[in-house]
Amino acid sequence: MSRFIILMYHMISEPQTAAEVRFACPPKRFEKHLQLLLRKGYTPVSINQVSNYYTQNIPLPDKAVLITLDDGFEDNYLNALPIFQRYQIPAVIYLATGLIGKTNQWMSAPTFSMRKMLSWSQIKEMSDHGIEFGSHTVSHPRLNELDDAKIDQELTVSKQTIEENLGNECAHFAYPYGLLTESARDLVQKTGFKTACSTRSGFNNVERDPLILHRIEVYGNDPAWKLSQKINFGSNKASLLFPFQYYAKRLISRLG
């Protein structure tokens, strides 16, 4: 096993505004994405398998892929859970614990619609069905703008809240907006998280820092060919010219 990929999604529902097109993947399209991964021979794995790979050296299957959903939108329960169950695909959802049962208050720009977030009873039901939950802080702040004491509080409180409600260890984290600093990364480790997802793009392998895992962002309107290209090249960028540019660059670096 040389490398594995982590995909990042947010809402699994129809976009309500133009700005949401990137973040809201319609359920039919989401299902097609998962079908494509299976057809291409990818093996969906859980965040615990990824964690065990780094902490206990337990190998991952070939072409391993982890599905992640950020923020904890209610549509994850309504629309994504039935699809995960249909295909027996594991997934991890990163929760901003201060917003559970509320709305997406942190997305204050008028270009976004108001969305309901998951409730604890929905989260518990999903957890009973094998969906894993990680922390995405309490209030979804920009960690690079907070001092260490405030970061520590965001990490510790969200971790404890999830553990108290679900009754098991919460060992996984995702940085809001993908924003991280060296001290935020170290505090994530100190709080007891074993993995943390960033929004840096690319493949992961044994050399990757498990507290700065890389993810490929799948846009809500990515057709199958774009998803295909993103997972082949480990990049968020996809265009008809991209493969040409990629190989041209490699050729030039080999010649140079």
Tokens of 112: 């976004």
Task: Name the residue nearer to Zn ion (CB basis): 70 or 74.
Answer: 70
Q: Does 217 bind Zn ion (CB under 5 A)?
A: no
Give the binding range for Zn ion (CB under 5 A) out of 63-71, 180-188, 203-211, 217-225: 63-71
CB of 228 to Zn ion, least distance (A): 26
The residue with its CB nearest to Zn ion is: 70
Task: Name the residue nearer to Zn ion (CB basis): 141 or 210.
Answer: 141
Which 3 state secondary structure label does DSSP give 123?
helix
Q: Does 154 bind Zn ion (CB under 5 A)?
A: no
CB of 124 to Zn ion, least distance (A): 21
Task: Name the residue nearer to Zn ion (CB basis): 9 or 53.
Answer: 9
Residue type, 15: P
DSSP character at residue 78: I
User: What is the phi/psi pair of residue 232, to 5°?
Assistant: -70, -40
CA-to-CA distance for 166 and 124, rounded, in angstroms? 7
CB of 32 to Zn ion, least distance (A): 24
Q: Does 70 bind Zn ion (CB under 5 A)?
A: yes
CB of 203 to Zn ion, least distance (A): 22
Binding mask 161-200 for Zn ion (x = CB under 5 A): ---------------x------------------------
Q: At what angle do helices 224-233 and 242-255 cross, to 10 degrees?
A: 20
Which single residue is written with the structure tokens 């997934």? 91
CA-to-CA distance for 110 and 4, rounded, in angstroms? 37
CA-to-CA distance for 20 and 143, rounded, in angstroms? 23
* Residue 118 and residue 72 in contact, taking contact as beta carbons nearer than 8 Å: yes
CA-to-CA distance for 94 and 109, rounded, in angstroms? 21
CB of 176 to Zn ion, least distance (A): 5
CB of 12 to Zn ion, least distance (A): 14
Q: Does 71 bind Zn ion (CB under 5 A)?
A: yes
* Residue 196 and residue 172 in contact, taking contact as beta carbons nearer than 8 Å: yes
Give the binding range for Zn ion (CB under 5 A) out of 66-74, 84-92, 145-153, 199-207: 66-74
Applying CB under 5 A, which residues contact Zn ion? Answer: 70-71, 176
